[in-house]
Structure 1
Amino acid sequence: MSQRAAQAARLFTPAARLAGVASTLVLAACAAPSAPPLPSLALDPDRIAVAGVSSGAYQATQVHLAFSDRLRGAVLVAGGPYGCAGGQLDTALGPCMKAEPFTPDPARLAGKVRERAEAGDLAPLAGLAGDRVLALHGRDDGTVAEGVSRASLGVYEQLVPQVPDLALRWDGAREFGHVMPTAASGVDCRAGGAPHLGACGFDAAGEALAWLYGPSAAPGVATGELRVFDQTPYVPAAGDPLLADRGWLYVPAACAAGETCGAVVVFHGCEQDIGRLGDRFARESGFNRWADVMRLVVLYPQARSSYLPLNPKACWDWWGYTGPDYDTRRGLQLRWLASAMAALGAPLE
């Protein structure tokens, strides 16, 4: 067996196969009645941002660099740098997760960003002007190495000479594992494990939104509406982005009533998709109660499990399973997002 095949096989475990079957059954059970499309809301184009955890952090940095001229920043929880995998699964599983046999090189990857920006595959570097990027990593994370997370911010640091007002922050001193840290929801913060939400006494969502949008009044209980929506109308005609049929949208009452609001797109991590967790990630990750006081709509897109191509854990595409353009504006998942955001009222293109 080749090294690539052996590494891929580690993803294709009996547990993963059973999870995939369960995911399919849950989605089938949710198939009726049909979900509505996204509503058209009054959104402030200057208050649109992205965030993500694990594979969702990889997706967030891909989206940010592809559409930075329409976004104000990104929060990356336990993810790695743009372009790290280079379309290779073995690279994704080694250097881009474990920093083995080498740590990703931010200077080389920043060079790739410059080249792609000049070619129009990403937004012009000038689109990063005034943006804010936070990289958050737990000291007990045994899934993604600290050096990989540092490299995610390191790529942006390499771009600072061309974008001097880019605001960057590294937060890596907190004790938590490979989880989305919450104030009280989830499993043991340091040990981690499914559903990869950690009861850490640390509200990472609040920290993320304060970095992106500035401080706000303390939140209470989320009083807006978490809506299911149909993801299929936004699928590009050219191919399958391998997304679930349904996604989640949180709408504060003020935004539903017609007030102008901002929006943050939050990408779940592997094994946190709707097929496994239903609405748990959207309800318990901590963003919704802050969204009420900060006047933010929260979009939670949902990936889906597959075996051909190999993605049994419903990770976002950061190694190329949807095609060679996966991390550019032409990528199927990024094109899906652009279409969905246009429908919502915040065009990315």
Structure 2
Amino acid sequence: MTMPLPCRAALPAAGALLAGLLLAACTKAPAAALPKFAVDADRVMVAGLSSGAYMATQAHLALSDRIHGAALVAGGPYGCAGGKLEAALSTCMKGEPAIDVAALAARAAERAAKGEIAPLSNLAGDPVYVLHGRRDATVAEPVARAGAAFYERLRADHADLATLKVAWDGGRDFPHLLPTAQGTGGCESAAPYIGNCGFDAAGAIFNALYGAAPRPAPATAAGSLQAFDQRVFAPAGKATQLADQGRLYVPKACADGARCGVLVALHGCQQNVEAVGEAFVRDAGFNRWADAYDVIVLYPQTHASLAPLNPKACWDWWGYTGADYDTRDGAQVAWLANLIDGLRR
């Protein structure tokens, strides 16, 4: 899309947040409706980086009737922040004070019993993959370990979750980003928070969630990347604080009518399209593997705001959309449920 001249002239003089908001306003145009596909409901998974990892575990717990596995990169356990920003910035990023995994697991069971999240029994057999880099200075290792321990505690506490599969991968040398094995970017934690660290995280995520690849991934993605209108999926009476447009990657086989899985890929803070362009949706590595596995990739998009205070365009994992943010009634969780349902033919 060509940006109008007044917008292009104004952007260089704007601060980072203002520039992001201005860019969003300047590029608004009607996006296409989300197309529908033959979706294999048993192969709908979620993955996320940083705030996207926290959102991924929220979606997995709240929507386990729709989502059947989760990959968390540099994120912690469900319910960690407890609706408090100060807890999010301390306990849930630095691990100080330590995270009480047993209490979080008990709280999740209470919420499931009340119907605030889906029944925990839905998690039986689900794969969970937790990835953390040893050089991550943003999210401490004990926080990520607690993300894996949370699921392990659920498995220990509930006999019907004996088949819940939890994999911890914390021995790799990369900082706070999504590591790749392609591209020219250095392995440093800086925008767009994707770096060639000699490890294909996207491939590892696909393998953990979907099993061995039925065929090798192509060198470059061969499907189509599309924009779609996110606004139509907003739950009634809820302000989602999301961008107007999202992105969708469709392998050719899926476009031609094959029955395909779905991966919801959630970017981290300052990694949305408004902040880094299409770097995450094009270069994270998911699209190549989507071709190999016949999986559609949804790339939902947040946006930065001053009210509510979310200047880095993070997903809501501490309550800026409301106290029910990490339940089925939460604005972004309910929106995501509508999005997944809307993709199905």
TM range (shorter): over 0.9
Distance 1:316 1:28 in 2: 20
Which of these residues, 107, 121, 130, is aligned with residue 126 of structure 1? 121
Q: Which residue of 1 aligns with 2:11?
A: none
Deviation at 1:69, TM superposition (A): 2.6
Q: Which residue of 2 aligns with 1:42?
A: 38
Q: Which residue of 2 aligns with 1:7?
A: none
Of all paired residues, the percent bearing the same amino acid is: 53
Whichever residue aligns with residue 84 of structure 1, its letter is C
Unmatched segments (≥5 aa) in structure 1: 1-16
Normalised by the length of structure 2, the TM-score is 0.93
1:195 aligns with 2:188: no
Other structure's SS at 1:173 match: strand
CA shift digits 1:61-112 (9 cap, x unpaired): 0000011132221000000111111111111000100112x12111110011
Q: Which residue of 2 aligns with 1:11?
A: none
Q: Which residue of 2 aligns with 1:233?
A: 232
Whichever residue aligns with residue 79 of structure 2, its letter is G
CA shift digits 1:40-65 (9 cap, x unpaired): 11000111000000000000000000
2:65/2:122 contact within 8 Å kept = yes
Q: Which residue of 2 aligns with 1:53?
A: 49
Q: Which residue of 2 aligns with 1:149?
A: 144
Whichever residue aligns with residue 27 of structure 1, its letter is A
Distance 1:192 1:69 in 2: 35
Q: Which residue of 2 aligns with 1:96?
A: 92
Distance 2:99 2:94 in 1: 10
Distance 2:306 2:183 in 1: 31
Other structure's SS at 2:92 match: coil
CA shift digits 1:180-214 (9 cap, x unpaired): 1111236422x311111111111100000001111
Which of these residues, 36, 58, 63, is aligned with residue 62 of structure 1? 58
Which of these residues, 65, 83, 88, is aligned with residue 87 of structure 1? 83
Q: Which residue of 1 aligns with 2:19?
A: 22
1:178 aligns with 2:176: yes
Other structure's SS at 2:91 match: coil
Distance 1:303 1:86 in 2: 21
Q: Which residue of 2 aligns with 1:74?
A: 70
Q: Which residue of 1 aligns with 2:258?
A: 259
Distance 2:325 2:247 in 1: 23
Other structure's SS at 1:137 match: strand
Q: Which moved more, 1:135-144 or 1:102-111?
A: 102-111
Distance 1:332 1:129 in 2: 26
Aligned Cα RMSD in Å?
A: 1.2
Deviation at 1:18, TM superposition (A): 2.1
2:21/2:305 contact within 8 Å kept = no
Q: Across the two proteins, how many residue pairs are aligned to each other? A: 327
Q: Which residue of 2 aligns with 1:333?
A: 332
Q: Which residue of 2 aligns with 1:137?
A: 132
1:304 aligns with 2:299: no
Distance 1:275 1:70 in 2: 28
Whichever residue aligns with residue 43 of structure 2, its letter is R
Distance 1:157 1:105 in 2: 13
Distance 1:318 1:218 in 2: 35
Distance 2:212 2:58 in 1: 26
